[in-house]
Chains A and B, each alone.
Chain A
Amino acid sequence: MRGLLRLAFKLLVNDRAKYAALLVGITFAVFLMIEMTSLFAGILTRSSATVINIGASIWVMDPAVQTVANTIPLPDYVLDEVRSIPGVKYAVPLYSGSALLKLRDGAYQAANIIGLDDTSLFGRPRLLQGAINDIFAENAFIAVRDSEFYKLENPTIGTEFEVNDHRGVIVGIARVASSGLFGVPTLYTTYNRALQYIPSTRFTISYLLVEPKSAGDVAGIQRQIAASGYLALTKEQFVQKISSFYKYQTGVGTNMLIMTVISFIVGLSISGQTFYTFVLENLEKFGALKAIGAKGHEVVAMILFQAGFVSLLGYCMGVGLCAALIWLARAHLPDYAAIVTFPNLALAFGMVVVIAALSSYFGVRKVLKIEPFDIFRG
């Protein structure tokens, strides 16, 4: 069979024009599919940036919360109630809101403010510069060095700004796992300072962060909190809830899906037609092979090998091209959100398999239909 496949390989690659058209079609389709889905994956990851960066095991919130950015403040008694649930190791409040900063040059800049529990500083970021205890100093804020950092005019330790007519001072520079979705920089401070500096509603707790005593306690904690009329989600569940919101309740998911499907159709059209033409051009030769003594399944194997080879190569080239362009884009555009994930790659691979299968299906049908007698008959 190796000789037959080598024959099939030579038939494919020696027809350079069609081989190039097939490769370009599949590469381009894979590139577009991965680019689209990676962009979407990047957006989804960024939409959950606060959840990922804080890293709490369980998040308690109002059931109406859809995304981490749209908080519905909780009354203080909920904190006490949660702390009293058996299985809770500890529970701390978190402030998450936005504020308008007045920078040194007088420009205004919106920012996310994360207020960490004063006693534990649970969810604090990893510091690149400064000491974490300085967060307790007067007017202290920690700036996050992410893709939006430059919007704070690249502050250093000691850089001052105003927030709601209060003086703010940068006491540390930190890094986090994920940048936010909305293109605004992030500042960390203490929970109480956040309440003090930023206008608040009657209730002030954005989320309660809960650590269970053991993984087995999670379900019980969720049940008890639900009985109180609130919602407790694990980190993964919260990320999933946010993803679902962006996928199904905004136009983002639909638009990305449409673009991905269009990419698939483009790839299928180009490679399908080209491959079908390729088979048609060789149809009589395949008929001659059958007359000489090739069995039907051997000719089918040759065609499937050709489709499989060109699809796999096109897939690899598409992945490489996409990875290179994303790397290049991220090097020059800090806000660029695309992330290549294994599910993206698997989805694109699945679609390439479908392209290969459909492209070869029509060719195989033709080849199986042709009778060696047709070759004699001319």
Chain B
Amino acid sequence: MDSRVVNKGQLPELLDKLARDHILVAPVREEENITLFKRVSGASEVQLDYITSDVSPKGWIFPQTEKTLSYTYTGDTLEMKEPDAPPKTILFGVRPCDVRSILALDPVFEGKFLDTFYLERRKNTVIIGLSCKTILSTCFCTAFNSGPCDGTGADLMFTELGDKYYVEVNTEKGKSLVEAYSQYFLKEDTEKLAKAKEEQAKKLEGQFTRKVDLDGVKKVLDENFELPYWEKVFRKCLGCGICTYVCPTCHCFDIFDYTTGEFTGNRFRCWDSCMFPDFTLMAGGHNPRPSRKERVRNRFMHKLKYHMDRYNLDGCVGCGRCIAKCPVNIDITQIIKDLKEVGQNA
């Protein structure tokens, strides 16, 4: 693996150039307290000191609303047109948990049926990761064998160390970007920086307050679909979709056709949420998940069991967004703890 150095003072110029040549998506502050991944026209818009974005950047690969085809009926023929291929996009400043989440999404869309919409965007996106500098009280990525400086999955991984960024070049995509902008990616002796990064990672790992131990949790869920415990958890759930919409690994969608005229229309896919009652509502009126109990259970089963069953990957990356955003303090780390206890008492 190759590694380079970007001088901190030169980062704005690099970002300006990237924004000029490609679609550059980076963390942007909106209003007082909100950080979102948005397209930027230059470095001045980028919020480098953000901690966790309020909504994950997954929408740039799996958009909340995506046109999948448009159609025109001419009287005797039906013409269908697929959307144009997505443009090359650079996602800059993605935190390790959010990079990890994209790795969790990949096998969903690249299974038996290839989801070309996702895969095209994925192919055309270069992911530049950015190591964390601050650990929030809601963070728990270390529970999933990741960490605040984990570059797994990123094409390039930036770590701020003093007045430099230590850059790990992890993939061919990353390599070609480095080559195209080689005047910014300096070939220096990076051995010291690599060590400094390791030390920083260790230091940060000591700052996590949520100690989450997943051992035995999946076993409890494997053996128990019904648990009296869920009766307790679901009561306070308001049934909103915050947890699923801010989650970087949630990936359910619904498909709709919208007519734009008598003979024309578009087909869209839009994010959907298993917390909504109509998510599993059947055409005949039956709903296999009739109450919030079944819906809440499903969400945690998906995060802690189903994803692992299907793809041998964790369905949660420990970003902590659902904890921070839930209006009633439903906390996945508490649920993990409680389920563990349920297993021990069984």
A interacts with B: no
